[in-house]
Amino acid sequence: MSYRHLFEKGRIGSLTLKNRVVMPAMATNLAGHNGEVTDHQIAYYEERAKGGTGLIITEFTCIDYSLGKGMSNQLRFDEDRFTSGFARLANAVHKYDAKIFVQLHHAGRQSNSNLIGGRQIVAPSPIASAAIGEEPRELTTAEVKELIQKFIHAAIRCKMAGIDGVEVHAAHGYLINQFLSPNANLRTDEYGGSFENRLRFLKEIVLGIKEKCGDDYPVTVRLNVDDFDQGGLDVEVSKEISRSLEKIGVDGINASCGTYNSADKIIETMMYEQGWRVYLAEEIKKCVDIPVITVGVIREPEFAENILAEGKADFVALGRGHIADPEWAKKAYEGRDQEIRKCICCLHCMQTVNKNSHVQCSLNIRAGRELEFKEIKPIEEKRTAAIVGGGPAGMEAARVLSLKGYDVTIFEKDDKLGGQLDLVHTPVAKQKMNWIMDYHRNEMNRLNVDVRLHTEATVEKIKALNPYAVLLATGAKPIIPELEGTNLANVCDYEDVLLERLPFQSKKIAVIGSGMVCYSVTRQLAEKGNHVILIDIPTATGEKVSAPTRMMLLNRLKNLNVEVIEGHNVVKILPHAVVLEKEAAGNQIDLEIDHVVFSMGTESYNPLEEMYRHHFENVFVIGDAIVPGSITHAIKDGFEKAFVLESIVTKKAGKPLAAIN
């Protein structure tokens, strides 16, 4: 064990933790439809406890289900009947010497009427959140006092259930944050106006919990150090709040930031640097003696260790990192850093939750499905498998099959593994894509997968393996639309740029498309001194980019003097021009250019299936070779097909091809 600070014991109040690794609260949608703890939820948290985490903080847990919900399937603890579920959750986590806190929450004006049965949302003052767009009703003083009691009673239930402590959610623009914030709290009673009055709601909650549960029952506060919202909390005000909280007995501060109006600061996109908001925790640590937890795109054990060693925080929280790899702590403790599957900030987990699905992960297909994929069982007899293509689908299938005991061979015609993942060139995003490629490449070495680069997968070579199954992961190829002029010499695709097949310098270039790869292509051409015009048109790959990420990327391109044209269709390509048609008006313009680069996504590339089915009995197509999509689809398909391979081989006889693939 090389990370001394990360794996030394720590204390929060009277509670001793086995290490300094925290899993912070993150929504999962795994609760029952009435807000109860479910078996799926217990399995999800137990997996992280088993993986070595010192402290797990549950997802936000509602203390007032009638008006305070923040999502459809949200955990709740506003009635005694939910105690048994939390007791079972606590027992599951405690088996592995991990501790568990429950995060107590009320959404306030960041709820919406659809979530609370058509009722009007409530807040300290009748000021709408721009992100929600619904005007809230101002809480009466009596209602405020009633809510204080609801927080306190939820904490009492937590203690009765064997939960080790509670975290009061005063961040991310939710109700307590609204009371603290000068731009959301314009009350004229004892809970508004001055700093002391705005703090009173949170203060009375904490004092009430301490009175009823005892001074030795740990209470932490998730606090926004900066709202990143005009007129909201900033670092200096939050330092004053933190000093006040320490005086009244709060046992720790979990330093966070952002509201729904600045949501990209709460759940960061791929464009944020590792540990970008550690400075917020560092500022709080300067002014209090109680423990401070830091969070925010912390992915590597060495990075986390340095935070602690340099005294910037007392505990390090890894949120989405625990979704991607529940064994993060265990692997770091055992010096298996290369085996850690690092989160790449693709936001798939949050997108699934926001669509009312259970939490899912692009990289860890078992996330939220722990009861479905309990363990990878070894096969009873030795078998071989051949995989054609070394992209994400092929490598994930190879990983799972190897863990099951197969001898696996990958045929890759390129000089390296990675496939489409290697085409992302934006520096910060490239770093994160390298994480997942490095993980899979290391797994191929660790599991002794026979990787044959620069090798065409001929029938003869595969027959020599006598494979039980052949998996075709040949991926996808760039889409070139059926337009007049696409066969001209000055027209190419994004691979020609990213793989530097063609030199471009001091040229006027039109890039056509949208999405991460498209924006990477545009940036690369602009940085090489070209005059670049991005014709941003809707594509399937573009739709996968979240709105905050797209806005950030387009702004960065504009800062590189890229001209961005939206709202136009491409009519045809000429030797020295692109003909565009404005969507609304219908009038055409000729845009003079030297070259055209298409970056409109991909279409399936599956040239081998028909031939292989004449020679091999069990042939399966996986990943983009079936349906071009995202890294999520590719890894999911590779994992699932490999996990159930024996079953689909058994059931294959007599089934039409469509039913198998």
Which helix (H) or strand (E) segment holds residue 293: the answer is: strand 292-294
Degrees, nearest 5: CA angle 641-365-612: 20
| Cα dihedral 313, 319, 325, 330 sign | positive
- Annotated active-site residue in 174, 333, 439, 494: 174
- Half-sphere exposure (Cβ direction) of 317: Cα atoms closer than 13 Å: 23
Residue type, 33: H
Q: How far is the C-alpha of 495 from the C-alpha of 203, rounded, in Å?
A: 58
Q: CA 437 from chain center: how many Å?
A: 17
Lookup: tokens for 523: 């940036």
Lookup: tokens for 10: 């720590």
Q: How far is the C-alpha of 128 from the C-alpha of 173, rounded, in Å?
A: 12
Alpha helices, H only, 14-95: 39-50, 83-94
Which helix (H) or strand (E) segment holds residue 532: the answer is: strand 531-536
Q: How far is the C-alpha of 170 from the C-alpha of 45, rounded, in Å?
A: 23
The DSSP code for 632 is H
Degrees, nearest 5: CA angle 35-169-274: 105
Lookup: tokens for 568: 């136009």
User: Whose CA is closest to 401, among 110, 144, 646, 138?
Assistant: 646
526 SS3 class: helix
To the query of whether residue 217 is one of the catalytic residues in this protein, the response is no
CB 512 within 8 A of CB 599: yes
Which helix (H) or strand (E) segment holds residue 167: the answer is: strand 165-170
Region class of 61: left (phi > 0), else alpha (psi between -120 and 50), else beta:
beta
Q: What are phi and psi of 407, to 5 degrees?
A: -85, 115
Lookup: tokens for 232: 């909201």
Q: What is the 3-state secondary structure (H, E, C) of 89-125?
A: HHHHHHCCCCEEEEEEECCHHHCCCCCCCCCCCEECC
512 SS3 class: strand
Lookup: tokens for 282: 């560092």
- Residues comprising the chain, all counted: 661
Q: What are phi and psi of 432, to 5 degrees?
A: -75, -35
Q: What are phi and psi of 194, to 5 degrees?
A: -70, 165
DSSP 542-579: HHTS-HHHHHHHHHHHHHTT-EEEESEEEEEEETTEEE
Q: How far is the C-alpha of 417 from the C-alpha of 410, rounded, in Å?
A: 10
- Exposed (0-12), middle (13-18) or buried (19+): which is 101, by Cβ within 10 Å? buried
Q: How far is the C-alpha of 136 from the C-alpha of 53, rounded, in Å?
A: 39
- Tell me the catalytic residues: 174
